[in-house]
Amino acid sequence: MFTDRPKVTAAPLVPGVHAFIIDNALAEPETLLQFAQRTRGAFRASPEGIAPGLELRMADSFSTKFEEFFRQHLRRFFDARRTLECVSRLALHTRPPHTMPPSQWLPQRIGTTLHREQTVVVAQLYLSTNETLGGMSFFFPKRTVRETFNVINDSYALDSAAFEAKHRLRADDARESNDLFHLAQTIPAKFNRMVIFDGAMFHSPQITSETPLVSDPHNGRLTFDAYLTCKRHSDGTADRRRT
């Protein structure tokens, strides 16, 4: 399933923080793509206000295989002593930013409500052969923590028109540097490329209102997404060496 000899490349985001890239992450990526095509009718709409549009929860056995891959090859790059939970899905990004609520206009963070001894590691594997459908962008805030989270809170409380008027942010603005966030790095999409990173880093798919998005797994922006809730090291350390 997953390659047994991954070549891991570190992509610097901010000083001391990296995302990690594995090209050719699946030994036979066509198998997963064919599975997505066979089960196309089983995809369901994502919860309201949540990207990407359509998703299919993967079996626990598949998530377990990915967790084993993570434990053997990737966990040492993160502040993750052991995995508490791993869930995964196939995702079809069918909704462009302008059709989403303001909360989806902004870069996202995952796992910020967990206990401080826990962290979430996120992996996204690109299964589309159309590499123009957008990779992953990473950001850091320009404003104070309080100012940033006031804007985030408004993105949930206000409708699109009110949010745009108050903060002068439009749906596509969050895909590049703006008054709130600085774009630190964009990792392009590539067939069978995996990007794995700390979910606490602000991130967003590099998709604009001009990106052609369809609900067909063969032609659409299909990804395998995994979320690993992990127990941190007691001393907060991790081996972040590049390989």
| C-alpha span between 124 and 221 (Å, rounded) | 12
pLDDT of residue 240: 47
pLDDT less than 50: residues of the chain: 240-243
Q: Which tokens sit at 226?
A: 């995994």
Bridge partners, residue 205, by sequence: 136
Whole-model pTM: value is: 0.91
Give Cβ neighbours of residue 164 (< 8 Å, ≥ 6 apart): 102, 170
Angle (deg, nearest 10), helices 145-157 and 160-167: 150
In three-state secondary structure terms, 80 is: coil
- Going from N- to C-terminal start, the domains of the chain cover 8-231
| C-alpha span between 90 and 216 (Å, rounded) | 12
Domain 8-231: state its class.
mainly beta
Give Cβ neighbours of residue 111 (< 8 Å, ≥ 6 apart): 118, 119, 120, 199, 200, 229
The H helix count followed by the E strand count for the chain is 4, 11
Asked whether the beta carbons of 91 and 52 are under 8 A apart, the reply is yes
